[in-house]
Structure 1
Amino acid sequence: MKNDANVVPFNHQDQHPSAAGKLPAALLRVRDKAATLLKDYLQELFANADDALFEMAERATSNNEQNALFEAMRDLRLKRKHIERSFLQQLFSAFSELSQLPSTQPPQLETHSFESLSLVQDDVLEESVAIDSMVAKVKRSDGDALQQLTTRFNHILSSKTTVEKNPLNPRVLSEFFITSCNNINFSINIKLIILKLFEKHVITELGALYQASNQLLIDANILPDLPTTAATAKQRPTVRASTHPASAEPVLDANATVANSEQLQLAFSELQAMLSELRGNVFPARQTPADAVPITSNDLMRLLTHMQQHLPSQSQHDQDLRKQLDQLLLRASANSKETRIVGQVDDDVINLVSMLFEFILDDHNLPDSLKALIARLQIPLLKVAVLDKTFFNRGNHPARRLLNEIASAALGWSDQDAERRDSLYQKIESIVQRTLTDFSDDPNIFNELLADFIAFTGKERRRSELLEQRTRDAEEGRALAETARVHVEQELNTRLLGKTLPEVVVQLLQDAWSKVLLLTYLKNGPDSSQWRDNLATMDDLIWSIEPHEDVAARLKLLQLVPALLRQLREGFSNAAIDPFITSDFFSRLEALHVQAFQRYKQQAAAAVTEPDAVATNSYTALNEQLEDLPLQPEQPSVATVMVEVQEEIVLQQPETTDSSPSKIVLAEDDPALLQVDSLHTGSWLEFSQNEQDKLRCKLAAIIKSTQRYIFVNRSGVKVLEKTRMSLGLEFKNNNVVLLDNALLFDRALESVIGNLRRLKNT
């Protein structure tokens, strides 16, 4: 076809010629049309991904989050062609397999469905929930068109397929896309954002694709009398426009609000369906009299408000919400002479909220003292869910966001902190108290509470980030100083170890000139001319005080000394070495050089009487150079103390909190060390020495040059430092736990969904 070269640049037909040849010509046209449209949709996704991720990066609340988004932008740019090619290859393979399905064996549906995968890994569960939502929307809006397309496929295929196996099924296309992106190491939050973009730019366009594909088959006279889907397709622009108003901010969050209220309601309906399957088995069936009268949601709200207002001042984690509610219903039944029960829908809401808080209050990431405060929010959040069933599916619902923000801020809070003096604890306590006091049936109060809490935590975060940055700068400077110290030690030991030199020279190089070298390394680096010059000065100094029998070397010494002294004085001055120390050194160095020159002058004077003409001329030249030096043999020379440098020179270093080397060395492939290597800045950990003493801190910096890990508390103050090996041993001995800083409510909801699916499959 004309478009083949544009649609399939990887020449897929060449890879599967036999399979492609078995497809009817009409299906080949559908395949190529679908590939053309899907390629356009993907290109639109990539064209908008940069802007979307950049906007999110600008609104990021931490450097880690911002860096992850920028990294995702870079990876998408570099690998977009690979993703596009892989996606289309899978599409072509799926079409080729249509002709290979055995006609006697029905397709095995959902053998590897997202439900089974969700039992393996939390990330896959999140992807499954996102795909569920996308598929459900397509089924509602374009399910008939997809069914008609599958019917037409089966009309011309010898082996029958199903809607679930149709290569253009939204679930199949979503799995193609996820598989294509698997070679990029995105975090789950980034994956969900990319999936949201896939939904926006690809999944929402499937109605037009189904219409075009059905029309191709109708034009080929394949079941032309099936009801048309044009009416459905014509409605799509209206829906698309309503979800993307020009003045609205782009919906980029993985849990972004879906505009259509009916679509939001679906999430609760699916959860309710799971509960109904387990009712009477896992969940005991309610024993209700035949004359029982369900109370209205308004009556339930009044009962919950009564419970909220009479909540004990210190709510316990294990408070039995259902038991308290049943007691109130018994009183209501006695007063009304009718058996009153909670309606089935509201009962399901109560069960879901109870399961969510069961997870939340068992979560290790929350400090126990703050769990007591969060437990008091169970009734208010239950009231929110009763009022608005979309609460379970709206990631940006203010009540959910408030709970997530509280949990996120509390991650670094320790039970050892002084509760009454801690501003964060006091703020959370005031938020909870105001919720219990002021929230009746207007959920808008959560918008106000959320804004207030975000403003509070924003100020705290800015202060802590400033301190964190100062800590990082200080630690990086210390690491650079450590590297410089090691280099200077190496240079000193290379020149001094094993040599016998005047003690004054050894002391000067170790105590004073080492500081000159350190300063030069830190200021100019090891590749600078200043560094090389200072090393050369050290070499010249050592050479100048060594004995030399060669006359030319003695002449060189005479020329070298003035420049050497000047370079030494300049170096000491730049390093601000104590002038009293340098003055004493220069006096003693001068004495060494004068003694050498006097000895050379005596040897030169004696040499002129020798018969060797060459030696006589050389020493005569040396004698002329030394004629200005006084020869004072009558004065005894000062004894020079000589030392042999037998041990390596180790310069003084600042003390560290974790400076002693570990006696145990783990193998590089040890799981504990691999876990250390997987840490990134911003990770929260809890160190425990015993059951009572626990320290929560955040990894603020990884100093690669020294393999040190710097930890700060939630205020940004350094509280701990570990080497890579010592941190690995902490993990191996189970003395440290990596805390999960993902959104609390979202993790709780994932856990509830996963548990419901597991229970359904058992």
Structure 2
Amino acid sequence: MTLFQKQQLHIEFSAQLRYWIDSHLDGFFEQLDEEFFSLAESAVNDLAQRSYIDAIRELRQNREVLSSNYRARVLLATEKFFLDYRSYQQEFLRTQVRIGQDQNSMELINQDVLEEDLAVMRVAHHAENRHLSRLKELSALLARVTPTQTLKRNEVPVSPGVLANALQYVLQEWSGDLQTKLSFYEVFGKHCLDRLEKLYPDLISLLEKAGLKPVENLLQKPAQARQQQEQRRTGTSGEAPRRFGQMDEGTLFGVVALVRQLEDEQRESLGLPSQSIADFPEDWPVASVETIANVIGILQSELSMNPPRDIRQARVTQNALKGQLVSELGKTVTDQKVRLQRIDQHIIDVVNMLFEYILDDPIIPAQMKVLLVRLQMPVLRISLEDKSFLTDRSHPVRDLLNNLAAAAARWSDEGDYAENSIYGRIEQAVQRILNDSTAGVDLWIEVNEDFETYVLNEERGASVAEERLSQVAKGKERLSQARQAVDEYLTRLLPAAVPAPVYQIVDEVWRDVMTLILLREGEGSNEWNKAVRVLERLIDSIIPRADPEERQIQMAKIPLLLADLRRGFASISYDSGRAAMMFKQLQQCHVTTLRGLQPATMKYQPHEKAGMEGGSLEAILSDEFMQQASELKQGQWITWTTGAGKELRGKLSWRSEVTDLMLFVDLRGRRVAEMSSSELADLLRSGRASLLTSIDRPIIERALAAIYNTLTRQMPGHVLPA
């Protein structure tokens, strides 16, 4: 799998895991609370009872922190597994029982530590036996993601052992005694680990949909697998090439097989050179790899000295290279009286078509195409030297091309061409390959490892930035919801018309006071009820009374009302000068009321709700573009052109379920845009936006599929292999 495929799979895997965690943690803590209460009731002495009562208090105080820390720990294990496996092994696959290597006696071990470790092992072992078959399926599928292609069931990032160890890690900060910790593990085993059957089938289905297949054969014969891999690298296997259709993807070898069948007229229609380069006497010896590599190296050096600067130059250069390469190779083999194998010419044809596809690819930005197309000669040289490039989906050259193209596809031109920018790092990777015209596959591996490390670091930073943006967006939504709820409450509570000073206090101050309380304390809290009563007393204070005694009672209540209002003003740090003016105006209003007169009033108008634009809901949903926008999933990418003509691209990071607002971020997790479904639908409808639906598919696979379809169209009678 490419790095970006792993990243996408990690996102989807983590989303499933997060949902399972969130759906079980609340019940777990509630059951644990009941367990502590029951143990406190049945405690044999006051000391034990006090321990459990303290545990209840600590649990209720720190429940949110414990929940958050546990979720973060488990999700970190998943991230490390997919994106940094060595780190995952070191941090999460530790020995559970912490026995010192230099200690020869169990008596030297802290008994509390040992008992806690054994409790963790017990609940994990029980759960592993309960879910054994599913764990085996998961380990066989997830082994595809690991560098060694092997994975034991207790090494799965969602295995009971890893999940239980995460809880043990979080409980390092727990101040309670050992018995309360043991209660954590007992309840966790029953309430969470025993219910993994609700998680594992969904994860297995997700992995299978992502194209992962079990690696049982590799698990059974790791030595044989390593031997075959080494033979492929060294070319010493002595085995015949695999038949086309034997592998599970469209291979370059299969495309070459089609190119071999093309007639001259068909080659011409596809823009391929004639086959004269291979039409030499059969008794001439075959040209050596070095002979061909020297010709390619010369062209590579010339291209490095005068690289194309824009997409137009890149197309011109690419077309010129096709003819120039054929011409130079023909001249060289004629002078040396050697011949070129037809398979080599066909490889040249396919590599040319591969880079033509890159130039025409609708997903990669033009500036990035100009960089990537410069790798054409090095790719051609490697593919002629190492024929496994044709059939090996994980060939190092293909890996690097796929990773560079994946990063390029997510890049927007914002003028950042610095050395450590995405553009700068792709340019460095390309230049390192170009600088050594004789380097073999090892250089591609080295460059790819460096680039993957860079991308992983960028991904971590982007994840943090994206999470912060999402929290800000969620905060805005909560504020919007709270304001709307307060406005609805005020509309019900306030009379149709109120005096201007009261209107001003309610609209500018008390609305914010109630919103803040609603966010912090919630509706129905003591603070909320106090704020509502102050508002009710304010309204009552400006209702004229005919009875003098009632007016006296009304006047006596005003000082306490004003004091409560001032406390509310202070709670939101309202401007003191403007507050004094408001209270002075309210005083005049009270004077009028206490004389038995009605102050001048005005109609209270709550803040307008954001309405739906573009007609009825039914009409909008029937629009295909609105449906595309509404069905856009988190993690999917789009590209669009702004009103100023600038092309942008972003990933959907968060969508509000209330306001339908969508937050888009770039490759580094920075905010690119916020828009609603209707705004995105308008862009799609006008042709100014498009969904990058194939962005997660590696560039080589996209190119092969396109080339294969093009070739089969040239052969109407061709039947696709089964």
User: Normalised by the size of structure 1, how large is the TM-score?
Assistant: 0.58
Give secondary structure in 2 for the equivalent of 1:282. helix
Q: 1:691 to 1:572 in 2, by over 3 A?
A: closer
Structure 2 unmatched runs, 5+: 22-200, 230-235, 244-250, 269-273, 309-313, 718-722
Query: Quick one: distance in 2 between partners of 1:689 and 1:508?
Result: 42
Q: Secondary structure at the match of 1:314?
A: coil
Conserved in 1, the CA contact under 8 Å of 2:650 and 2:667?
Answer: yes
Q: Does 1:381 pair with 2:379?
A: yes
Letter in 1 for 2:504: Q
- The residue identity in structure 2 corresponding to 1:399 is V
Q: CA deviation at 1:380?
A: 0.7
Cα distance in 2, alignment partners of residues 265 and 462 from structure 1? 40
Specify every segment of 5 or more residues in structure 1 that has no aligned partner in the other structure, as ranges.
1-55, 78-183, 205-235, 249-258, 600-638, 654-658
Q: Shift of the alpha carbon at 1:332?
A: 2.0
What pairs up with 1:434-449 in 2 under 5 angstroms?
Answer: 434-449=432-447
For residue 700 of structure 1, report the CA deviation from its aligned partner: 2.9
State whether structure 2 residue 686 is matched by structure 1 residue 697: no
Is 1:302 aligned to residue 294 of structure 2? yes
Please tell me whether residue 483 in structure 1 is matched to residue 481 in structure 2.
Answer: yes
Look up the equivalent residue of 1:522 and give its one-letter code: L
Count of residues in Structure 1 that have an aligned counterpart in Structure 2: 505
The correspondence for 1:286, drawn from 258, 271, 275, is 275
The 3-state SS of whatever aligns with 2:703 is helix
Using the alignment, how far apart are the partners of 1:679 and 1:530 within structure 2? Answer: 41
Residue of structure 2 equivalent to 1:752: 707
- Judged with a 3 Å threshold, the aligned counterparts in structure 2 of structure 1 residues 512 and 686 are, in CA distance, closer, same or farther, namely same
Structure 2 counterpart SS, 1:720: strand
- The aligned counterpart of 1:313 is 306
The answer on whether the counterparts of 1:398 and 1:446 sit within 8 Å (CA) in structure 2 is yes
**Equivalent residue number for residue 650 of structure 1:** 607
| Structure 1 residue 513 displacement after superposition | 0.7
Is contact 2:501-2:589 (8 Å) kept? no
Partner of 2:130: none
SS in structure 2 opposite 1:317? Answer: helix
Q: Distance in 1 between matches of 2:384 and 2:361?
A: 24
Q: Residue 58 and residue 713 in structure 1: after superposition, are their counterparts in 2 closer, same or farther (change >3 A)?
A: closer
Structure exhibiting the larger radius of gyration computed from Cα positions: 1
Superposition pairs of residues 194-343 of structure 1, within 5 angstroms: 194-197=211-214, 200-201=215-216, 242-243=224-225, 265-266=242-243, 269-278=253-262, 282-283=266-267, 286-287=275-276, 288-290=279-281, 293=284, 294-311=286-303, 312-315=305-308, 316-318=314-316, 319-320=318-319, 321-336=321-336, 338=337, 340-343=338-341
What CA distance in whole angstroms lies between the structure 1 residues aligned with 2:393 and 2:19?
A: 26
Alpha carbons 2:333, 2:340 under 8 Å: kept: no
Which residue identity does 1:328 align to in structure 2? E
1:733 to partner: Cα distance: 1.1
In 2, distance between residues paired with 1:709 and 1:408?
23
For the 8 Å contact 1:57–1:66, the answer to whether it is kept is: no
Q: Is the 8 A contact 1:57 1:65 kept in 2?
A: no
CA distance in 1 between partners of 2:532 and 2:686 (Å)? 46
SS at match of 2:315: coil
Map of 2:51 onto structure 1: none
Measured in 2, the distance between the counterparts of 1:237 and 1:474 equals: 46
CA shift for structure 1 position 688: 1.9
Output one character per residue of 1:180-230: Cα deviation in whole Å (capped at 9) or x when no partner.
xxxx99999944655412xx35xx6xxxxxxxxxxxxxxxxxxxxxxxxxx
2:374 counterpart letter in structure 1:
R
The answer as to whether partners of 2:637 and 2:691 remain within 8 angstroms in 1 is yes
1:443–1:278 distance in 2 versus 1, CA, 3 Å: same
Percent identity reads 24
Paired letter, 1:403: L
SS in 1 for 2:639: strand
Distance 1:480 1:364 in 2: 39
Residues 1:351 and 1:58: Cα distance change in structure 2 (over 3 Å)? closer
> Structure 1 CA distance, aligned partners of 2:441 and 2:502?
80
> Per the alignment, in what secondary structure is the counterpart of residue 295 of structure 1?
coil
Q: Does 1:513 find its partner at 2:510? A: yes
Aligned to 1:544: 541
- Which residue identity is paired with 2:463? E
* Residues 64-113 of structure 1 deviation map (CA, whole Å, 9 limit, x = unaligned): 64231245679999xxxxxxxxxxxxxxxxxxxxxxxxxxxxxxxxxxxx
Aligned residue number for residue 345 of structure 1: 343
Structure 1 residue corresponding to 2:636, chosen from 683, 693, 707: 683
> Is this contact kept in 1: 2:653–2:663, CA < 8 A?
yes
For 1:648 and 1:265, locate their aligned partners in 2 and report how far apart those are by CA, in whole Å. 77
In 2, distance between residues paired with 1:554 and 1:425? Answer: 77
Classify 1:409/1:269 alpha carbon distance in 2 versus 1 (closer, same or farther; 3 Å).
closer
Write the distance in 2 (CA, Å) between the matches of 1:751 and 1:188: 28
Name the counterpart of 1:411. Answer: 409
Query: How many angstroms apart in 1 are the aligned matches of 2:259 and 2:3?
Result: 41
Shift of 1:466: 3.2
Q: How much has 1:699 moved relative to structure 2?
A: 2.7
| Counterpart secondary structure, 1:470 | helix
Cα distance in 1 between the residues matched to 2:364 and 2:370: 10
Corresponding residue for residue 66 of structure 1: 10
Aligned partners of 2:420, 2:714: CA distance in 1, in Å?
A: 42
Q: Distance in 2 between the 1:332 and 1:507 partners?
A: 90
Structure 1 residue 741, shift from structure 2 partner: 1.9
Letter of the structure 2 residue corresponding to residue 297 of structure 1: V
